[in-house]
Structure 1
Amino acid sequence: MEMYFDGTSNALGHGIGAVLVSLNGKYYPATARLNFNCTNNITEYEVLVMGLQAAIEMKADVIDVYGDTTLVICQMRAMFRIKEAADVGPFDLKVREVSAHYLNVKEEVDDCINFARKCHKCQVYADRIHAPPAPLHVFTAPWPFSMWGMDVIGLITPKASNGHRFILVAIDYITKWVKAASYANVTQKVVYRFIQREIICQYGLPERIITDNASNLNGVMVNDICAKFKIKHHNSTTYCPKMNGAVEAANKNIKKIVEKMTEVYKDWHEKLPFALHAYRTSVRTSTGATSYALVYGTEAVLPVEVEIPSLRVLMETELEDAKWVHSRYEQLNLIEEKMLAALCHG
């Protein structure tokens, strides 16, 4: 018989699980939730004992044990060597093998690190874990689309097939709604047109716009459009030139989504609209809701719900026109309540 075990401990709880495989290839899973505070090592001990007790109940004579914790494996090896020398065993079965393969965990981790260093995608899209930590500040706004944060992603290499190398990103601080567009170069003229076409013409005049201290986001043309429409333009602190908070988080998530959707390096600009749709229809941890629901008052119908009809789609197809309109009207009336809940959550 073989046994594979693992345990974990985190802020949500402590869980253990083991799988026993009989000689005829049948699988016997066993899981449990620990109701006391413990560390990862304690969970490994608990799941090992649980698995061995299950093997005893199944009247197993010989068992091969496989785990991924070096500490537990080494202690098990030493314990059974001592018991075998004394010809006394704590169990009614003999542990024939405790996996030696998992003792080379450090070597495997080193191999993964060396591989990641040589991988182009890992270097382009990976988080900068060595960046100095900085506090995140929650911004509040009086109404949706009244305060936007703007930043630039790039220089992206390799550039897209249309020659674009940068992504200009803007995010609303209440709904976390993201607007983004790719460009070959982000000049002051590009920023001017982006503010005018993508923000003002679609979402109305904002009260303020927050950017970092980059020259293309603080040029004469940007100051002119802010003065023309009486928009307050603020910058992040000079000792932290990169935009902190919501915009940096949006940039990181968009890069991750685009990287996973890209089939070839040069088509990333074609995947950008799909990445934005995925971002808008995902629940944001800062608000506890999707950006789409906070803007439109209802959740978007995803392609998977049409291909495999969900309960919501089936119910709406059976509604009469009058009932559907009434249901939609009630959803729209709940937008302000949803936004208030999102602000309290933040």
Structure 2
Amino acid sequence: LQVVPRRNIPEVLKAVHNHPTGGHLGVAKTLARVRQRFYWPQQREDVEDWCRACQTCAARAAPTKRLQAPMQIHPVGQPFQRVGMDLVGPLEETLRGNRYILVVCDYFSKWPEAFPLPDAEADTVATALVNGIFCRYGAPETLHSDQGRNFEAGVIAEVCRLFGIAKTRTTAYHPQSDGMVERMNRTLIDMLAKVSIDQPEDWDVHLDRVLLAY
């Protein structure tokens, strides 16, 4: 571990917390990252003070209590056996014409992937799934989503049939039952808003860095 003099602590905390690859994460995650590489006395107190004083984090702090989705148990035995997907948006259109994010999470490892999309059409979603997920990690056994028309369209069903994937969806009575993906969506939007606060039209540029921070 590198021992950090007091005068250099702000530089370290800025790199770990404020940098786009830091993602303006909370105290616990920021402290864990600091402790992976650095040491100085009173680390927790300094990290708490830094996060509390961060204007970007304060600007994004939620004033109301968030509703939590009910916990669901999905038995899985290996990575990318079962994945969940959701669409975030519409967001502010970027300079590259993107307005949506396709979020895909693995139920076993909790590994997230996210892809900027120009629209929410089923063809666009299917292309991102095939190129970004199936061609990289292989086809999952199960693909889970909500009941959005983008995910229930014929093209998605055909892709699942071709790859031998079982398509499942949330029920009408529990549309927020997929807590893992819901949490990922909230975290992703919060982190993107913080790192692109000065240039919101460039949020898609920061997407990969935010995933690295997550």
Task: Tell me which interval the TM-score lies in, with the shorter structure as reference length.
Answer: 0.5 to 0.7
Contact 2:85 2:181 in 1 (8 A): yes
Does residue 181 (structure 1) correspond to residue 115 (structure 2)? The answer is yes
Does residue 172 (structure 1) correspond to residue 106 (structure 2)? The answer is yes
> In the TM superposition, what are the counterparts of 1:2-41 in structure 2 within 5 Å?
none
Amino acid at match of 1:278: A
Aligned counterpart, 2:179: 245
Q: 1:128 to 1:144 in 2, by over 3 A?
A: farther
Does residue 220 (structure 1) correspond to residue 154 (structure 2)? The answer is yes
Aligned counterpart, 2:27: none
Question: Structure 1: which 5+ runs fail to align?
Answer: 1-120, 280-346
Q: CA deviation at 1:163?
A: 2.0
> In the TM superposition, what are the counterparts of 1:278-293 in structure 2 within 5 Å?
278-279=213-214
Contact 1:150 1:210 in 2 (8 A): yes
Contact 1:153 1:167 in 2 (8 A): yes
> In the TM superposition, what are the counterparts of 1:294-305 in structure 2 within 5 Å?
none
Contact 1:211 1:235 in 2 (8 A): yes
Distance across 2 between alignment mates of 1:191 and 1:243: 21
Does residue 232 (structure 1) correspond to residue 166 (structure 2)? The answer is yes
What whole-Å deviation, never above 9, does each CA across 1:124-143 have from its counterpart, x for those lacking one? 96659466554121322121
Aligned counterpart, 2:74: 139
Dislocated runs of 4+, deviation >3 Å: 124-134
Amino acid at match of 2:119: N
Query: What's the TM-score once normalised by structure 1's chain length?
Result: 0.42
Contact 2:72 2:177 in 1 (8 A): no
The structure with the largest strand share of the pair is 1
Aligned counterpart, 2:210: 275
What whole-Å deviation, never above 9, does each CA across 1:67-111 have from its counterpart, x for those lacking one? xxxxxxxxxxxxxxxxxxxxxxxxxxxxxxxxxxxxxxxxxxxxx
Matched pairs, number: 157
| Greater RCO structure (CA 8 Å; 6+ sep) | 2
Query: What's the TM-score once normalised by structure 2's chain length?
Result: 0.67
For residue 109 of structure 2, give the secondary structure of its aligned residue in structure 1: coil
* Aligned counterpart in structure 2 of residue 265 of structure 1, from 191, 200, 210: 200
Distance across 2 between alignment mates of 1:166 and 1:131: 22
Amino acid at match of 1:250: M
Question: Structure 2: which 5+ runs fail to align?
Answer: 1-55
Contact 2:60 2:194 in 1 (8 A): no
For residue 238 of structure 1, give the secondary structure of its aligned residue in structure 2: coil
Q: CA deviation at 1:194?
A: 1.7
How well do the aligned residues superpose, as a CA RMSD in angstroms? 2.3
Contact 1:148 1:173 in 2 (8 A): yes
Amino acid at match of 1:222: I
Amino acid at match of 2:70: P
Distance across 2 between alignment mates of 1:147 and 1:178: 13
Which protein is bigger by CA-based radius of gyration? 1
Identity of aligned residues (%): 29
Amino acid at match of 1:266: E
